Copies of this chain bind each other. A is one copy, B any other.
Amino acid sequence: MDQNKIPQATAKRLPLYYRFLNSLNHQGKKRVSSNELSEAVKVDSATIRRDFSYFGALGKKGYGYNVEYLLGFFRKTLDQDELTEVALIGVGNLGTAFLHYNFLKNNNTKIVMAFDADPEKTGTDIGGVPIYHIDDLEERMGNVRVAILTVPSDEAQNITNRLADYGIAGILNFTPARITVPSGIRVHHIDLSIELQALVYFLKHYPLDG
């Protein structure tokens, strides 16, 4: 994999850069400097230059970066022309919100199906995304290799095991459960309760702008 040398921290910032470049492009802006970018995305300009430099010399000294060129470059790098299909498991409060949003605006990702255990929900659709019964998971998944997990936390490991058996590649886990997966499956945790508690903790213990 040729991009293996790119630091993970850099990789996480790429979609952010892409989004802002896109917006600049729509505004008809032709050039941009690392300093302008820095103010907009709140990342130190040296970090931005370093990030870009992993991909080679994308800018011109004394000029900055050509928006269109940079955008095209990132489009390829981020596979923006390739659509990744995603399944959502658990159409509750959070799952419903995600289905309505569906990450279409600036993304190469799309939720194409959802699952729930509640017969009141299955058989319907939200924003065009069909909701199937969880019993039909294996039968319906097709080629989908990425899942968003928004089930109650006691169900999380259960569902995870089924996803793992099915051959899932990545899970975005919104439940507080710290799920166990066979190696080779990537899990990203987004634990919203912890995010809120961490904010509160930092407010109390790391005052001012530390």
A: residues with CB less than 8 A from B are: 1, 3-4, 6, 8, 11-12, 14-16, 19, 40-42, 78-79, 84, 86, 93-94, 96-98, 100-101, 103, 105-109, 145-146, 148, 169-170, 172, 176, 178, 180, 183-184, 186, 188, 190-210
Contacts and interface: CB of A to CB of B under 8 A. Distances in A.
Copies in the complex: 2
Give me the 9 closest cross-chain CB pairs, A-B, nearest first. Answer: A93-B97, A15-B197, A97-B97, A93-B100, A15-B194, A183-B209, A3-B205, A170-B203, A42-B178
Nearest to A148: B196
Contacts of A169: 203
Given A11-B205, A15-B193, A204-B79, A199 B184 contact: no
Given A11-B202, A93-B101, A200-B146, A210 B4 contact: yes
B201 A78 contact: yes
